[in-house]
């Protein structure tokens, strides 16, 4: 999906909420970051790019002007801890019920997408206890767009799968799904090369034990979602070679919806919508859970 007018206030609200949490007593720094982002958007914003391009840029402004290499380090750590604790408590259907088992693990992988602590997700200030309660609540909602049968058929026919990770915490549930996917195909997971809001990096994959389950590659630098402009050569090769690309999160959906228009491989997206411009693509509104085969 390309940028639409509704995206513009979201860019700034997200950034302002982040600076308020990070620098509550430094109004001058918050002003400098926000006004620098405004100037950037005024000069550069276009309907020809995906929204994640602009969210990435304004958060890079935050990092550059503040000098913080990893904003939200403590919140990122707590999200991983909660994800691991909840994932360890799950009891999926037995392996002799392969579709039901796959659907259960997909549902929980999407539930983990609520660990996105950007303002349009769970919020930057959410506590560990609230995170756990939120996941337990959302897990019972189910999928509003459910193409898991179609996705599972593609999984069963695939030789190789590229799984593009999204948030810290969430990746603990992805680890369970990836372990199941490896019964059917070779799986490679992709993380970001640098921290941006809540997106997972290699250290997070190591923290939840994912590197012991499958190979993990770096998709690119500190971008929100996949960037086809900044992807690594390893990521480019992995995308070209995969029979199926599975992506997590709305930011990855922005990019993969466009990519799928010319892709030769299959693309599935698993995520919770964060806004109406995305939800309305599926005839819905608000925050809904989606498992869709886009190509």
- Read off the pLDDT of residues 146-157 as tens digits, 9 standing for 90 and up: 999 999 999 999
The tokens of 159 are what? 């030789």
Mean pLDDT of 266-279: 92
Picking from 67, 73, 78, 64, the residue whose alpha carbon sits closest to that of residue 21 is 73
pTM of the model: 0.93
pLDDT at 143: 93
pLDDT at site 119: 42
**Cα angle at 223 between 24 and 237, to 5 degrees?**
160
Distance CA 92, CA 106 (A): 11
Q: Which pLDDT band, with edges at 50, 70 and 90, does 128 fall under?
A: low
- Asked if 249 and 116 touch (Cβ cutoff 8 Å), the reply is yes
- Burial (0-12, 13-18, 19+ Cβ within 10 Å), 123: middle
Alpha helices in the chain (DSSP H): 7-22, 27-44, 51-66, 73-88, 98-111, 128-139, 148-157, 170-181, 202-207, 233-241, 250-259, 276-279
Q: Which residues pair with 145 in a beta bridge?
A: 290
- 236 with 257: CB under 8 angstroms? no
């Amino acid at each position: 999906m390309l940028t639409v007018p509704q995206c513009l206030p979201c860019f700034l609200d997200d950034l302002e909420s982040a600076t308020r949490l990070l620098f509550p007593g430094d109004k001058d720094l918050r002003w400098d970051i926000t006004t620098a982002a405004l100037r950037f958007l005024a000069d550069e914003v276009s309907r020809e790019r995906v929204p994640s391009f602009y969210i990435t840029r304004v958060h890079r402004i935050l990092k550059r002007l503040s000098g913080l290499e990893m904003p939200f380090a403590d919140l990122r750590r707590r999200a991983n801890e909660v994800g691991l604790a909840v994932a360890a408590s799950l009891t999926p259907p037995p392996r002799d019920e392969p579709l039901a088992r796959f659907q259960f693990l997909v549902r929980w992988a999407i539930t983990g997408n609520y660990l996105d602590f950007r303002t349009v997700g769970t919020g930057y200030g959410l506590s560990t206890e609230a995170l756990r309660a939120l996941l337990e609540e959302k897990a019972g909602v189910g999928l509003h767009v459910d193409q898991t049968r179609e996705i599972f058929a593609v999984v069963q026919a695939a030789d190789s799968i590229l799984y593009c990770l999204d948030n810290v915490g969430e990746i603990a549930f992805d680890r369970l799904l990836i372990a199941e996917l490896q019964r059917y195909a070779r799986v490679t997971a992709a993380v970001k090369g640098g921290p941006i809001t809540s997106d997972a990096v290699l250290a997070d994959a190591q923290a939840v034990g994912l590197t012991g389950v499958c190979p993990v590659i770096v998709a690119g630098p500190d971008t929100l979602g996949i960037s086809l402009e900044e992807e690594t050569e390893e990521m480019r090769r992995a995308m070209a070679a995969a029979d199926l690309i599975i992506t997590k999160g709305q930011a990855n959906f922005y990019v993969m919806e466009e990519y799928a228009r010319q892709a030769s491989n299959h693309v599935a997206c698993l995520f919770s919508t964060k806004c109406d411009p995305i939800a309305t693509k599926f005839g819905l509104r608000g925050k809904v859970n989606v498992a869709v085969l886009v190509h």
